[in-house]
Amino acid sequence: MDTKAPKKPNGRDVWVAIGVSLVAAVAFYFSTKPTLKDLDYTFEIASALLNGELGLRQKPPEWLNEMIPYGNRYYSAFPLGAVISMVPVALLQKASLLHDFPARILAALIAGACVYFFFQLTKAFGADYCSLKPKPLARRILLALFPVFATWTWCNLGMGGAWQIALGLALLGETAALYFTLVRRSPFIAGLFFALAAGNRTELFITAPFYLYLFWRPSSENTSIQSRTARMKHGLTANAPMVIDFLTVPVALALLTAAYNFARFHSLSDFGYFHIPAVRDEPWYAHGLFSVHSIPWNVHKMVFQGFRDDPKFPFISFDPFGCSILLSSPFLFLLFRNGGKYKVICWIAIGLLTFILWCHGNPGGWQFSYRYAMILLPWMFLLLTGNGPSRITVTEISLFAVSVAINATATGLFLWTDKIQP
């Protein structure tokens, strides 16, 4: 039986990860402008929660037009997990350390933390965890920066609204959960970060079995046949504590969310979205919040919607309501390379989540590219890290550079100019 334990974290790796994440956070902070920071729905409800209220007693300002008037309160359609995520920020305000919602700082911290965990997650493909040679440092840094600066995450998270912050926290939660599943195996901490992800994006609850499978499978590709047989024979007994540790916080959050919904709208499953004034009258919800009738429009936005040309520099512009993720991040074409340690489970996760996103009535509203696809990036990261060569290639550098240039342009146009209008 293979009893070799994973090595302890390499000290140099930790410092490199911290350094890269700090540089990323600073770069993100100075390159973005939170144009939607006043749309701080979750922060407002978190502040009310600290005062023992589930909603606002006074009518919110007119720009918070998605607050839900119900009974004698104004509620938010955001799930409980997204509200709880803002409680630490609300506590700082209550202590008079903050006056306004710190959207720019918060978005930069999320971006930096994501880079840290993406860098550390590359260890899942190193010599300590399988038979492959360690990835060179340059390639690990490039891969760690990719999900934040070479995709639509940069522009959308930089907007700083409650929707964008929730997506950023979901991305962070997924990535950290995968790190504590594949690298520093800790079911409870992985479950805690998974709860952060699913609490901000409820559809992510359906991916819980994938994390449990990754805990159950052998952590080393060269595990002996005897070890695998023993694992299969005693798997249910041996893994029961792991399942309990991982699911404790997510299940508790799910139950609290149901109670939260019932206390507000007298239904365990009603998040309140259809109680937002005039939402039911919007044409894209004619068949409900989720419907297969919505798939064609979402497919067009996520895969086929192109850029706009512009006679002035930088000679391209973007639709304010979405465009193809493959055009906004050409690095994603590398997803279709052969190989990959986790390719089957990653494609299943991507396919399942994409189907749910495509069924949503609205493809995302004001956005660059397809913002909802941020929750796919951790699984795409595993594919890209696993199916590539050990050393960085010219093709990877070129596609990464083009992707960064496109997203830097979008960030500049959306956040620092008024050139893109509805």
Over the stretch 320-349, which tens digit does the pLDDT of each residue have?
A: 999 999 999 999 999 999 888 899 999 999
Q: 100 lies in which domain range?
A: 11-416
Lowest mean pLDDT among 226-230, 263-267, 269-273, 404-408: 226-230
The mean pLDDT value for 107-133 works out to 81
pTM of the model: 0.92
Distance CA(63)–CA(76), nearest Å, equals 13
Whether 5 is covered by a domain: the verdict is no
Whether 234 is covered by a domain: the verdict is yes
Whether 240 is covered by a domain: the verdict is yes
Distance CA(276)–CA(67), nearest Å, equals 7
Distance CA(196)–CA(47), nearest Å, equals 19
The mean pLDDT value for 132-152 works out to 88
What are the structure tokens assigned to 388, written together? Answer: 């590539």
Whether 2 is covered by a domain: the verdict is no
Whether 387 is covered by a domain: the verdict is yes
According to the model, what pLDDT value does residue 236 have?
Answer: 47
According to the model, what pLDDT value does residue 216 have?
Answer: 84
Q: How many structural domains is the chain composed of? A: 1
Q: Is the pLDDT confidence value at 291 over 90?
A: yes
Whether 324 is covered by a domain: the verdict is yes
